[in-house]
Amino acid sequence: MNLERTLDNIRFITSIWEDMGIPYSVKHGTYTTILESEMGKHRFMVNSYSNKVFIARNKVLKDLKDSELAKEIMQGDYSTTNYGVNDNLKSMSELDVLNIDISSAYPHAIYNAGLISKETFNYLKGLKKKEKLPCLGMLAASHLRMNFNGGKVVDYHVHREPTSQIFFSLIQEVNDVMEECKWILGDNYIFHWVDGVFFKKSTSVKKINQVEQILESYKFPYKYEAVKKFNIVKNGDNYVISMNKNGEDKRYEFNHRNEHQRIKRHLTQRAKGQVHQV
């Protein structure tokens, strides 16, 4: 049975089993949480993906298996930071901005690094926009497995895919390019998020051309996106940036605690035997 993954839904099932005195296990990963007991198995999912996503992942894994460079990267330690902000940013409303996005950033990064074949690269590019990131993100999939008995954790194990550093290296590569754009733009830079950089519309043509040249030098295709109603709210170290991008309302919140992190935090507290109200 596949259900929507929320902390309340998970607690509903586990509370019933605990009241009945039934031992059970929880396997919590980035995209899926699985509850299993003698009463059956319940799968809670964030999204469901087409078979093409898993075919693409397997093609990538096959290429990595034959790559000496991949084996070297897997022994590294790469940063997972994928955003940045102007240190002097303040709350502002209706700011006129420009936005340059890298097209298919991670597929291009892994291909440009020589880690996958042209055939695999073309298959990746054929995925839908919302499928490309999860496909490569599966390289760094992790899960926390916990066994419960009598409502208490009796043992637990944390697993991370051995290819995780491959994906982290892609994050670092793209973020390093964004940081170079930040340095070129100077005070005109506002913030960047994953593979898109936002800057003031008043930025000189010379600097904009330099940003374009940086992207081209790394063989990253790019495009300009239409941005309106750009607003920034700063509260301490927390930033909330909202806008309308290509006709769709967007919201970026730094230090936002998402549902995945809420569940993970709750389970970790249970593993430590601590009572914690999320």
What's the CA gap between 87 and 112, in Å, rounded? Answer: 31
Lowest mean pLDDT among 33-47, 204-218, 237-251, 261-275: 261-275
DSSP code, position 26: E
pLDDT of residue 107: 97
SS3 (DSSP) at 162:
coil
CA dihedral (1, 130, 115, 143) positive or negative: negative
pLDDT reading at 274 higher than 60: no
Cα→Cα distances 108→113, 171, 200, 211, Å: 8, 12, 27, 18
- pLDDT bin (cut points 50, 70, 90) of residue 278 is very low
pLDDT of residue 256: 42
Q: What is the CB neighbour count within 10 angstroms for residue 176?
A: 12
Answer for the pair 73, 169: CB distance below 8 angstroms, yes or no.
Answer: yes
Q: What is the CB neighbour count within 10 angstroms for residue 239?
A: 20
* Residue 40 buriedness (CB in 10 A; 0-12 / 13-18 / 19+): exposed
pLDDT of residue 200: 96
SS3 (DSSP) at 154:
strand
2 closest CA partner among 23, 31, 38? 31
Q: Which helix (H) or strand (E) holds 229?
A: strand 227-235
User: How many CA atoms within 13 Å lie on the side-chain side of 14?
Assistant: 27
Continuous H helices in 149-271: 164-185, 205-217, 259-271
pTM of the model: 0.79
Lowest mean pLDDT among 16-30, 100-114, 206-220: 16-30
What's the CA gap between 264 and 230, in Å, rounded? Answer: 33
pLDDT of residue 236: 79
Mean pLDDT of 37-63: 89
pLDDT reading at 271 higher than 80: no
Lowest mean pLDDT among 22-36, 42-56, 235-249: 42-56
Locate the domains of the chain by residue range.
2-271
pLDDT of residue 117: 97
